[in-house]
Amino acid sequence: MSTERSFALPDLGEGLTEAEILAWLVAEGDEVAVDQPVVEVETAKASVEVPCPYGGTVTRLHGSAGDTVAVGTPLITVAVPAPAAPAPRSGRAASPRSEPTEATEQTTVPSTREGSDPAGGNGAAEHHAGSGAVLVGYGTGSGARTPRRRARGAGGPPRSTMTGGPPPPPRDPPAPRPVRVISPLVRRMAREHGLDIATVPGSGEGGLVLRRDVAAAVEARRAAAHRPDPERTHRTPLRGGHRTMAEHLERSRREIPEATVWVDADATGLVELRRTLNEADPGRPVGVLALVARIAIAGLERFPELNAHFDQERREVLRFDDVHLGFAAQTPRGLVVPVVRRAQALSTRRLSARLAEAAEAARSGTLEPAALVGGTFTVNNYGVFGVDGSAAIIPHPQAAILGLGRIVRRPWVVGESVVPRPVTELTLAFDHRVCDGGVAGGFLRYVADRVERPELLLGDA
């Protein structure tokens, strides 16, 4: 005897409400064990293998790869075997009447309908006590995978849909309609243009194909060849984390009245400082983004208005004492913004290491969802794409994002001379509800001055 149990998509945390099915790890008809990973899903740029709390035979998979499933809706249905009956007491033989007949062996308890047992309900505890399933890793997990079985019932003769005999034999297809063409000139004209005369509708009496019909068919084919082919277009639906990011950016553009200021800066001092630091300790390299981030953190101490969120519902500005630093990272799955928490408490080398670690985790898909939320200020090194400037979109609900363009040698006035210098463009997009241009301009000027003369940071420490 068995009972069907439906397991729903669990709450994956951090307020996530849905996930996209990447791949099923089992197929209908497979036997699964308690806590065996059965499906890989993606949410907020992290892929997760979800284990099933039931053991038994898979009877239904609710969805296919690429489908989006809401939290709380069924993922998989499993036929769970009932506990074995207790053995008869020793010393007494079982009654012959207790032996099941062929008919009783095929009788089962009526199955529980889909959805009758919520995810993680009492059913799992009743039949499999101790199942403490947790999400198996992020990215590519190491959970056991059950091989797929061949679909049941494949092959063999088709069954009749009615009782009382085999299905009727298929009818012969109707004979093709004869082509009504009289003129050999019309046939030759169609042949010269590579046209199947049988496909040309006739406009003459009784459907007779005339010369004008062939000419019209040739012209229609020529026009179709020059017409844009809609089948050559491609539609790509936004799914998983890419769709989540698109929704965040759309909300930012819709709700935040942002403004952008920018300034060019001579990056000679910044480049020389980075070279000095890396020569002094090659085993702990410091990147350009880390140096700019360190300068930005110092700037936020002087201009705390920018280390904030705007509460849309309460119409309030929420400022933070800690800097939870977000940074834009491009990955094979699209743009993500990992967050380094309490960045102000890290040394420059440690901050550079944390940025590198988070970027690698984002690219490999192993970044936890919790590392993608809660940022208070963001930096973006779009110079890695070979561009000078960008009007970046502020990650909602933050108040500002600082951008760094490529560092390229340009003519620069030094005293009375024009000399080549490594120059970069710094941009700041800010929420105009949080501060005015004076604060934004003051912050950006602070950052630019310390990009040009990093030693000024010593006076701020």
Q: Which residues are catalytic?
A: 432
Residue 392, number of CB atoms within 10 A of its CB? 20
Could you tell me the CA-to-CA distances from 330 to 97, 381, 412 in Å, in that order?
A: 71, 10, 32
Apex 389 CA angle, 385 and 392, nearest 5: 90
What is the three-class DSSP state of 321?
coil
DSSP summary character for residue 276: H
- The dihedral region occupied by 139, where left means phi > 0, alpha psi between -120 and 50, and beta the remainder, is left
What is the three-class DSSP state of 46?
strand
Q: Which two tokens stand for residue 269?
A: 């001092």
DSSP summary character for residue 366: -
Radius of gyration of the chain from Cα atoms? 34
- The dihedral region occupied by 451, where left means phi > 0, alpha psi between -120 and 50, and beta the remainder, is alpha
Apex 435 CA angle, 429 and 439, nearest 5: 80
Q: Which two tokens stand for residue 102?
A: 């062929």
450, 143, 414: which is closest to 292 by C-alpha? 450
